[in-house]
Structure 1
Amino acid sequence: MFSSTIKISSVSDYIVPSQECIKPLMKNVKLQLDDPSIQLKPNLIKNQNNVAKVSLQDCLACSGCVTTAETILIQTQSLEEFLSAIKKYKNPAIGISPQARASLSYVLNFTDVQMHSILQQVFQEMNVTLYDMSEYTKIAINNSIQEFKQTNIFPLLCSECPGWVCYAEKTLDESIINHMSKVKSPQQIFGKLLKNKHDYIATIMPCYDKKLEAVREENNQDVNIVLSTREIEQFVKDFIQKSNVIPQQIPLSTLAINLQEYHNSSSNNYLDYIIQSILIPNWIVKQNIRKNKDFIEITIYNEDMEQQGIFARVFGLKNIANLITQIKTKTCKYKYVEIMACPLGCLNGGGQIQIQKNTEKAIDLIPKLKEIMTTQKIQIDNQYENEQEMYLTSFKHIKNENNFQW
């Protein structure tokens, strides 16, 4: 998925329901290799009338997973599973990311506020409490600012994107992993805090890999299920068609700051807020496009035009590979790097709704989604500066056998 070179012996994805990803019959059994009844490899070759598919049984047939096994994750974390599960709990909750809500707003032709009020009505009918994930992103950003000011490891690499983390775990060594931020993602912060209030936690995210993040061993007590924007699109459409939905004007805080030249609202603005946290009046911020618009270099100067730090926003795996080369060769000059695996960031995540693919390109769609997200502008506040903020900093990459885990 991420690398053109596959090393089966060194890859170990953490996937449930089978943590070791090995068929039970292969354990503690001395195989007779000349016994034709024992199939050592799954038979994925179908007849000409069928498309070859990897089923759940096939995936459990070996220990050589090389991707995030989205087939399994979608089977075990589907809309059907969510609708079935919430009937068993007294007080379920669901959080939606601003990127996912923007995608729904655009497709269904509502404002951000209207879309959130409609979703409140959708989930209220099912006795599910809806939350705006922006509030929990603020906690993650506050933690990230504190971490940046306290660290002596540079560059500090943002680790919210599970696609980037998965890539790093499979292909990079500990010297790179040690540069990654230890702050929990907004999704896991949301689950961690809400578990005390709700007995079932779900999220709606723009990325299928957020499912992988939720089922990891160190996270699976926080969030029960993750749905992609695309998975709930038709469900929301059906609700609007059959119900008399009246969008309400509700208070909704979206993550957006003053639109500086370097501002980017596609992926939660980690870099923007970290730069703002160290800026002094009369200091100057300049940006430079490196390889392409997904590799932005941002330099801060004081009033005397003396350089005070260089930062970067790096989206897309090709750009990430260039960054890693710089770190390995000790030529990297950045203090903090916001990294996202998807080109154009989370608004272009793999779980977002596909829009008129023949007539509209992602590069044209993203500005429209950004405009939806930044309709209401709010400065980040410090209301989580006390116990909640300090409680959520135990997010670490630790070596566990062949892979690194949060």
Structure 2
Amino acid sequence: MSAILSADDLNDFISPGLACIKPVETLPAAKPTNASNEYEVSFNTEAPPADLPPAQISLTDCLACSGCVTSAEAVLVSMQSHAEVLQELDSGPALRLRRNTAGTGIAIENRENGGRIYIASVSPQSRASIAATFGVTEREAGYMIEQLLSGPQGIKSRAVYRNGFQWVVDTNVAREACLVLGADEIMASMLTGEGKPNGVEDAPDQKQPSKPILTSSCPGWICYAEKTHPHVLPHLSRLKSPQALMGTLLKTTLSRKLGISPDKIWHVAIMPCFDKKLEASREELTDAVWEGTGTRGVRDVDCVITSKELLMLADSRRVDFSKLPRTPLPILIPFPDAKLGSFLFPPPRRRKNGIPGAGTSGGNLYYILQYFASQHQGATIQTTRGRNADVLEYTITSGAGETLFKAARYYGFRNIQNLVRRLKPAKASRMPGGKPVGSARRPGGKQTGSDFAYVEVMACPGGCTNGGGQIKADDPVITGRETSLVKPGPQEQKEWLAQVDEAYFSGEESGEEAALMDDRSDVVDGISPSHIRDTLAHWAATTGINLERLVYTSYREVVSDVGKKVGDTEKVIEIAGKIGGGW
């Protein structure tokens, strides 16, 4: 973190004219040799004008954590774009899937050409952004995305080899699995105690997270914690994010069922956040982990593009996104595993997100509260607003008024700073007989932060619908709207975000899905934990891989030289020695 843009002064909005200190390491710039060069850079020591335009920050400058982006990470991010998707689709004929002559399985064509199977997963936040942009429902936006990626009027109509995506899946199904697993993790932590063995022999981390358990599905928050606050790593949930879990499910199942290598399966995820590109690049999320080879492997998610880049993808193929059909495509080739296929493609093919109280970031905390309350008859949930709308505290009390469970929601880095301060361990006093000191102690000596059993942490204020890769109110060129003479300001962006949130919560539950849920007695917030656990157990049995190896991941402290004085020689040596991978 820069010494000028310190963590304590961190804000989620860069004001016009505010200096941004780029943390990315760069080689010393050579002096210009041609005085008449029109691109010559000069230094101006005069006072800057008062009416400066808003600061423009690129991905190589900073991501959600506003700093600590290494040169290797900048390369990893820049490599994932809509251009990479098109380049991959045009690299050669894809593997063609068809039903075999007996109609009992799937046959693969074009094996000798070295092609791949292409699969896409779409987040509900990206669908909401598309829905608000084109004035459709979230479900209709999902159908339009399917038409773009797989339909006859989509990108494959103008492709070299007419390659499209074989399946387009909804990450909501992986989200539901993460919700159930997260509730199980909380219950296990409360039963076994923090830091104790969790009984999982083959998991990446055999210890339960320390309380409070912090969500780990936001990659901007994880990147920030690993680089600047390693003391919070023992608190992080060990569960994979829905994006990562979906990637693992697709590649393990298809590679086993079709008898092909994981590198023959190419998976792109459409997400609301640029930081998801870094998550996809983690060494912990490759086939080397679930195969147990211990070597650098094939990514579970090969590429991540954002909601904005999805429209760029359509524009690059000269496809008018607004004119795509708003109806679903038939599934011509069923998923190789029938049970997992019914899980990936549920009856309405869209899962609802219709509860505003759950928030727009997946509802991790909301589901855990509902699940915990369902285990205690007569329990009630109380909500208390914190210092701003992005801080909420929750308490579950018994019928007798006893506090059973406390949790909180912290969105945005300004609020996250307060959280990590409370979790910072106290330092021993240097004075003989002195009490421990530090920001983690109250004046009375009581440590803070441990009051909560669970905290939902997200880097973006307002949650994932406000992600950096979402379509903004000031994107007229991308959205195809007429350019306004007045540039939209914060209030217009706030109103636009409200429209995106409304689209996010517009999902409907079909009568068929409601009937299926009514047949199960353990439904919590529309999700049956027993059904999820049964499906996950089937997945593990089908692939022959321990379930814990499939659903859990790990984190590590990352040492950064940001803010340290390093000579030019050391910079050159370090940059030349970087080979990428990990964070």
TM-score (normalizing by structure 1): 0.79
Q: Radius of gyration: which is bigger?
A: 2
Distance 1:380 1:370, change over 3 A: farther
SS in 2 for 1:140: helix
Asked if structure 2 preserves the Cα contact closer than 8 Å seen for 1:122 and 1:236, the reply is yes
Asked if structure 1 preserves the Cα contact closer than 8 Å seen for 2:148 and 2:321, the reply is no
Matched residue, 1:150? 188
Query: How much does 1:5 deviate?
Result: 4.4
Gaps of 5+ in 1: 7-20, 24-39, 60-64
Deviates more, 1:122-131 or 1:290-299: 122-131
Asked if structure 1 preserves the Cα contact closer than 8 Å seen for 2:280 and 2:301, the reply is yes
Q: What is the root-mean-square deviation in Å for CA atoms of aligned residues? A: 3.4
Asked if structure 1 preserves the Cα contact closer than 8 Å seen for 2:227 and 2:558, the reply is no
Distance 1:242 1:257, change over 3 A: closer
Matched residue, 2:433? none
Q: Aligned match of 1:393 in 532, 548, 551?
A: 551
Matched residue, 2:223? 166
Please say if 1:228 is aligned against 2:306. Answer: yes
Asked if structure 1 preserves the Cα contact closer than 8 Å seen for 2:391 and 2:415, the reply is yes
Deviates more, 1:77-86 or 1:355-364: 355-364
Please say if 1:254 is aligned against 2:351. Answer: yes
Query: How much does 1:159 deviate?
Result: 0.8
Q: Deviations over 1:328-357 (max 9, x none)?
A: 213111110000011111110001011246
State the distance in 2 between where 1:100 and 1:318 align.
25
Please say if 1:373 is aligned against 2:504. Answer: yes
Letter in 1 for 2:270: I
Alignment of 1:5-404 (within 5 A): 5=6, 41-43=28-30, 47-48=40-41, 66-67=68-69, 71-88=74-91, 89-90=94-95, 91-125=117-151, 126=156, 127-128=164-165, 129-151=167-189, 152=194, 153-173=210-230, 175-196=231-252, 197=254, 199-220=265-286, 221-236=299-314, 241=320, 245-248=324-327, 251-256=348-353, 258=355, 263-279=357-373, 280-328=376-424, 329=440, 330-332=447-449, 333-356=451-474, 358=488, 361-375=492-506, 376-377=508-509, 379-382=526-529, 383-385=531-533, 386-387=536-537, 388=539, 390-391=547-548, 392-399=550-557
Asked if structure 1 preserves the Cα contact closer than 8 Å seen for 2:361 and 2:465, the reply is yes
State the distance in 2 between where 1:156 and 1:306 align.
22
Gaps of 5+ in 2: 8-23, 33-38, 44-55, 62-66, 96-116, 157-163, 195-209, 255-263, 287-298, 330-347, 425-439, 441-446, 475-486, 510-524, 541-546, 562-581
Q: Percent identity among equivalent residues?
A: 28
Asked if structure 2 preserves the Cα contact closer than 8 Å seen for 1:106 and 1:369, the reply is yes
Asked if structure 1 preserves the Cα contact closer than 8 Å seen for 2:408 and 2:456, the reply is yes
State the distance in 2 between where 1:49 and 1:172 align.
38
State the distance in 1 between where 2:125 and 2:391 align.
21
TM-score (normalizing by structure 2): 0.56
- Across the two proteins, how many residue pairs are aligned to each other? 364
SS in 1 for 2:235: coil
State the distance in 2 between where 1:243 and 1:256 align.
24
State the distance in 2 between where 1:83 and 1:380 align.
37
Query: How much does 1:399 deviate?
Result: 4.8
State the distance in 1 between where 2:313 and 2:552 align.
36
State the distance in 2 between where 1:326 and 1:22 align.
31
Q: Deviations over 1:105-152 (max 9, x none)?
A: 110111111111111111114320211111111111121111111123
Letter in 2 for 1:358: P
SS in 1 for 2:269: strand
Matched residue, 1:15? none
SS in 1 for 2:551: coil
